[in-house]
Amino acid sequence: MRQQQGIALSGLLFWGIVIALVAVLGMKVAPEYMDYFKIQKSVKAVSSEANGKTLTEIRAAFDKYASVNQISTVKGSDLDISKDGNEIVIAFEYEKRIPLFWNVSLLIDFQGSSSGR
């Protein structure tokens, strides 16, 4: 007689729950990272066009990029603008709290700059 092979119902339920939790976590975290990369792209674009502009013009340019890309987490007033040699460096940082379930949430600190450091 052949020995049966397969997965038990308890194993199937366990792995199903694990996969579902990972999928839900991914669906909640992925949009925040997509926003971060949109902010990073906008900051680099503004930085490349910033030569000869004042701080208020740079902040206004970022606000225009933010409105086009639907960025609401960082405003032009939140940017840290400095000069490194002849290059204008725009940096930002913010934190995002993602509620998971009940009173459990995930806190992510995002930071970036136009220099890539």
Q: Quick one: residue 116, left, alpha or beta (phi over 0 = left, psi -120 to 50 = alpha)?
A: left
Token pair recorded at residue 107? 């806190």
The answer as to whether 12 is a domain residue is: no
Asked if residue 9 is part of any domain, the answer here is no
Per-residue confidence band for 1, with pLDDT thresholds at 50, 70 and 90: low
Residue 63 lies in a domain: yes
| Residue at 26 is within a domain | no
Does residue 3 fall inside a structural domain? no
Let me know if residue 17 belongs to a domain.
no
SS3 helix, strand, coil % of the chain, rounded to 5?
50, 25, 25
Choose among 71, 116, 74: nearest CA to 93: 74
The counts of H helices and E strands in the chain are 2, 3
Where do we find the tokens 């603008």?
81
Could you list the residue range(s) of the whole structural domain that residue 38 is in?
Answer: 31-113
Note if the pTM is more than 0.75: yes
Give how many domains the chain has, as a whole number.
1
Q: Is residue 104 part of a domain?
A: yes
**pLDDT, tens only, 21-65:** 999 999 999 999 999 999 999 999 999 988 888 899 999 999 999
As a whole number of Å, the end-to-end CA separation of the chain is: 65
